[in-house]
Chain A
Amino acid sequence: MNRKIRVTVNGTARAVEVPTYRTLLDCLRNDLGLTGSKEGCGVGVCGACTVLLDGKMISSCIALAVSADGHEVTTVEGLAGDERLHPVQQAFIDAGGFQCGICTPGQVVSAKALLDANPNPSDAEIREWMLGNLCRCTGYYKIIESIRAAAQRSRA
């Protein structure tokens, strides 16, 4: 019960044959070698597996790979340019939002989606948007600071 799917991943068209039960997360990590996205809770709560599907953030651990057939996926690997980190990535380093690293790919992808939708979010809007991304280092203040910094830098 395999199916061939075509997915544009980080701007590159990919064709891959997957079992129907393959989650999008496992497809990205195991079939496509993109191990940035992590599995935390496995039930859509913690946010470590956050990717963008057609520009909207989703939990890839509870999405079937077959459901991404014909769509565009953006993972943390797709954010940086050749020589430069994405402003959100740079801000996470500069402002200390990047701690142990497990939740970071999901945090960064969610923050990018936020700034794409709302380039100038208030702290309350940052909190509401990011509440589904858990950080067990509990570095939430630094994460909010990082997103604020990325927003400022993007405007400059």
Chain B
Amino acid sequence: MRAFEYAAPRTLDEALAVLREHGDEARVIAGGTALVTMMRQRLVSPGYLVSLRDIRGLDRIEADNGGIRIGALATHRDVETSPLVRERLPVLAETFRRVASVRIRNMATVGGALAHADPNQDPPVTLIALGARVEICGTDGRRALPVEEFFRDYYESALEPGEVVIGVVVPQLAPASGAAYVKFLPRTADDYATVAVAATVSVDPDGERCRAARIALGSVGVTPIRARGAEGLLAGQRFGAELLRGAGEAVKGAVDPLSDHRGSAAYKREMAGVMVGRALTRAWDAALVSARGTR
């Protein structure tokens, strides 16, 4: 690793001031699992590191309007084991549980993972399906945007220079709704997905038809994507093999995977269609259970 200056400010304002002062030379570090690895491989060589680790309160996981707000410094393990997350959005706890190993989940933070903008990660997929918003802070103030609009390209996000991710807000599921995360992982359990799909399904009160659905995929392009075309096919329809096949075909047309050691682009495209069917089936089942509970 190349030499760099290091600051560990105790407040967000201080951190933003240091970032502003050092411009392009500066990088934000939190858990470090992505950044230190890239620095060791000399993929990035920042001249100044601003650590957020000593900023108090940035790791809180709290109830927010029926949903949940997760501070940027919460670790993946914090989310996975949070009683609040497990109670309100078990699919989110389950998604974070699928990331790497316990050891890495103890280090990697929610905000750091978003800022890293790696399209092969698990959490963004479920966050997009759940309609989560990422909170961003810069010296000019705060803003928030849907997670699906946050990712711009391979390892590129909507963060402007001097801005940091401070949290993510995840709304509660609508009544009579279910959610599922399906990670296709033919290699080792701590690997990135070959294809990952998250889906939410809301059903009519009688459970007969889909009212609305959201579908997101990871590892199928340069960013995680939302499959709006497939979502549109589901509204108003009854569950069935034909419907799932149609949704799968629509997704296969929407993804643009890269060939790598986890599979060829053609294979990933095919598996994206299969996994969408599985995710929808599980989300739909969960929605029926939820609908029964509200009747």
Contact = CB atoms under 8 A, between A and B. Distances in A.
A156 interface: no
B106 A58 contact: yes
B4 A20 contact: yes
A-B CB proximity, top 5 nearest = A132-B101, A21-B1, A20-B6, A62-B36, A56-B106
A58 B36 contact: no
A25 B51 CA distance: 19
Contacts of B53: 67
B206 to A, nearest CB: 38
Interface in B38-97: 39-41, 49, 51, 53, 77
Contacts of B106: 53, 56-58
Most buried by B among A53, A69, A132: A132
Contact of B6 (A3, A44, A58, A63): A3
Interface in A93-135: 110, 128-129, 131-132
Given A44-B37, A57-B106, A62-B33, A132 B3 contact: no
Contact of A64 (B32, B77, B102): B32
Contact of B100 (A20, A50, A110, A132): A132
27 contacts: A1-B3, A19-B3, A20-B3, A20-B5, A20-B49, A21-B1, A21-B4, A23-B40, A44-B33, A44-B100, A47-B103, A53-B106, A56-B106, A57-B106, A59-B103, A59-B107, A62-B36, A62-B40, A63-B107, A64-B6, A64-B32, A64-B36, A64-B49, A66-B6, A67-B29, A131-B189, A132-B103
Contacts of B107: 44, 58-59, 62-63
A44 B100 CA distance: 10
A20 B53 CA distance: 15
Most buried by A among B2, B77, B100, B102: B102
Contacts of A129: 102
Contacts of A23: 1, 36, 40
A45 interface: yes
Nearest to A56: B106
Nearest to A63: B32
Given A21-B2, A129-B102, 9 more contacts: A21-B3, A44-B103, A44-B104, A59-B107, A67-B29, A67-B32, A131-B190, A132-B100, A132-B104
